[in-house]
Amino acid sequence: MSGLTTLEEAARLRLEAFYNGAAYNPTSNAGGMAAGGHQVNFEPSLDDVALVMKGAARMALEVAASAVQTAADASNIAAIVGGTGGINLTPTGIPRIAVLGALAFLDQVAPLLLPIETTGALTISPHQVGAVIFSNGHPLTLPAFASCRDGWWCKTKNIHGSTAVSVAVVGADTIDGGAGPLSVTAGTAKEIYRAATGFRSI
């Protein structure tokens, strides 16, 4: 906050310590209002009141703007810490990478795979951890369970108007406790993650 300007602060000090109700004396009490002093000091004192009020109004606006910004900052912090920012609170939250001996963390932003417009299945790579995959109704195949590290996950969004997306596993891998495939209905999304003994979806 900027505070009062030099002129405004000088006016405030005059109102605080210069103007008074005692008898006016140009030598010993130049700020007095009695004994005719009001004829000299009344209008200047009003000018000083106006200067101080101008500064006070400006600071009030700055305080209001600061309060709005503080509320916005608090909302953003709550979204991150509280989970709506999606940081490392669920198996499908943004993965955190420890650096400098866990003295700091980097949040890994998920890559984005564009809609699949060709026929045939897309096999997802184990390196595409955190990928958000848009499918236009075409099938997907998960990577081999053994090739995915703990914490691996992806999100599949079916953007087709009517066709379900089939998400298959390879070999003897399982998804949601079975051999699959997982069906993602049109217009919906599934988050798939590596659990202890197989893939799971939510």
| pLDDT tens-digit profile, the chain (202 residues) | 458 889 999 999 999 999 999 999 999 999 999 999 899 999 999 999 999 999 888 888 888 888 888 877 777 666 655 544 444 444 445 555 555 554 555 555 555 555 555 556 788 888 888 888 888 888 899 999 999 888 888 888 888 888 899 999 999 999 999 998 999 998 888 899 999 889 999 8
72 and 106 housed in the same domain: no
- Residue 160 inside a domain? The answer is yes
- Residue 175 inside a domain? The answer is yes
Rounded distance, CA 172 to CA 40, Å? Answer: 100
136 and 64 housed in the same domain: no
Q: How many CA atoms lie within 13 A of 188 on its CB side?
A: 14
Of 82, 111, 134, the last residue of a domain is 82
> In the prediction, which pLDDT does 69 show?
81
106 and 13 housed in the same domain: no
* Residue 152: partners with Cβ closer than 8 Å, 6 or more residues away: 126, 129, 193, 194
> In the prediction, which pLDDT does 128 show?
82
51 and 125 housed in the same domain: no
156 and 192 housed in the same domain: yes
- Residue 48 inside a domain? The answer is yes
> In the prediction, which pLDDT does 154 show?
87
> In the prediction, which pLDDT does 109 show?
53
CA nearest to 124, candidates 107, 145, 103:
145
Burial class of residue 87 (count of CB atoms within 10 Å of its CB; 0-12, 13-18, 19+): middle
139 and 42 housed in the same domain: no
Which CATH number does the domain housing residue 174 bear? 2.60.120
- Residue 32 lies in domain: 6-82
- Residue 11 inside a domain? The answer is yes
- Calculated CA dihedral for residues 143, 102, 75, 134, nearest 10 degrees: -10
64 and 109 housed in the same domain: no
Whether this prediction's pTM lies above 0.85 is answered by no
- Residue 89 inside a domain? The answer is no
Rounded distance, CA 22 to CA 51, Å? Answer: 24
- Residue 136 inside a domain? The answer is yes
67 and 121 housed in the same domain: no
103 and 195 housed in the same domain: yes
Count of domains observed in the chain: 2
Of 59, 82, 105, the last residue of a domain is 82
- Residue 90 inside a domain? The answer is no
197 and 101 housed in the same domain: yes
Of 56, 82, 108, the last residue of a domain is 82
> In the prediction, which pLDDT does 68 show?
80
112 and 189 housed in the same domain: yes
63 and 151 housed in the same domain: no
> In the prediction, which pLDDT does 85 show?
46
Q: What are phi and psi of 11, to 5 degrees?
A: -65, -40
Rounded distance, CA 154 to CA 133, Å? Answer: 7
